[in-house]
Amino acid sequence: MKPVAIGGENTPSSLTMTGVVNGVSKINVTGSGSPFVDKGKLTAKGTISAVSMPFFSPYTVHYVSYPIQKGNLTIKSDISLKDKTYLSVDNHILIEQLAWGNYIPNDTSTSLPVTLATALLTDGQGNIEFDLPISGNLADPEFSFSSLILTGLENLIIKVVAAPVNLLASIGNLVLGGSSSSAAAFVPYMSGSGHMTADQQKSTLAQITKALKDNPKMKVEITPVVSVKGDDNALHQNTYRGLLKIVQSTLPEAERSREKAVDALYALQFPTDKASHTLEEKEAKLYTAVQPDASNLHNLADWRSRNLSKALADAGIADKRIFITAPEMDKKGNLGGVKIKFIK
């Protein structure tokens, strides 16, 4: 890093910084400003290139229960500092070939649907690109880069998962006299859930209802889709968490910690194992042993189609205009949901 001259307001300093992460990935920052005067300011541009993402696995396991198996991260940032303390950073982020590892249960992670968001954001080349602006006051005692980044990522994931699907575009062929829409519109669901999000349901129902009421001879075909990867993993997680909660509820109130619940469940599941194990080792072994019922995926598909068809009927659509097809099992992707197709 080059020396920074502490100039006055009219004699800005220049900043140049270079570095290497993990011996390979390059960091470059260049900028200028007068950050140390009364109304200090600084503008800079920074780049971090192709950082190997498994390096971040301890953090991702802590926050979302998944390690990173593969992926490279590149960040380009525009940095602005005003009045010495007001920081604004506009980040453009590129993630290449992101792959999550197996779920690792713990009590510190959030319930963010990271695998669903990853599937929705990934393009045809296996890359994810998005903007992540962050800002804050450096003088605030509660200022934290990590919390700002986590909040920004959380908002992005929620926004992506809840984004409505444009169904009306798929009925153009019908309006022109065709026998069916050209393709089914896919509405992704949260993994393991039989319901859309509230925003999805509001948008989807409004679009289907409008299309059917505007075209009285048209019908709607609903095909539930279950992801063997995403949905089965979510059902597995829900089964494990549910068992822990049941065991927890049987313990004395003063002993209802996660650790005590894991100890009790482990003793029930492995009564002959008297060896000493860490909490993480017990949870890993329990999670492998506790499996959801094989029929749960089929039940989930049925739940998805029934919930949507009931919502349409409640919205005034005659049942004879609603068709439910056999479920599809997606063995490759991570996205489950429903396919919606308009027919005559």
Delimit the domains of the chain by residue range: 13-162, 165-344
- Beta pairing partners, 92: 76, 131
The pLDDT assigned to 38 comes to: 58
Q: For residue 322, give the 3-state DSSP assignment.
A: strand
pLDDT, tens digit (0-9, with 9 covering 90-100), for 159-186: 777 666 666 555 544 443 444 554 578 8
The pLDDT assigned to 172 comes to: 46
State the average pLDDT over residues 69-96. Answer: 91
State the average pLDDT over residues 29-38. Answer: 75
Nearest by Cα to 193 from 113, 117, 120: 113
165-344: CATH architecture:
2-Layer Sandwich (3.30)
Task: Give me the half-sphere count of Cα atoms (radius 13 Å) on the Cβ side of residue 124.
Answer: 0
More confident residue, 253 or 11: 253
Is residue 235 within 8 Å of residue 300, measured between CB atoms? Answer: yes
More confident residue, 285 or 85: 285
pTM for the model:
0.67
Please report, as a single letter, which amino acid is at residue 328: E
Residue that has been written with the tokens 């800002």 in this structure: 135
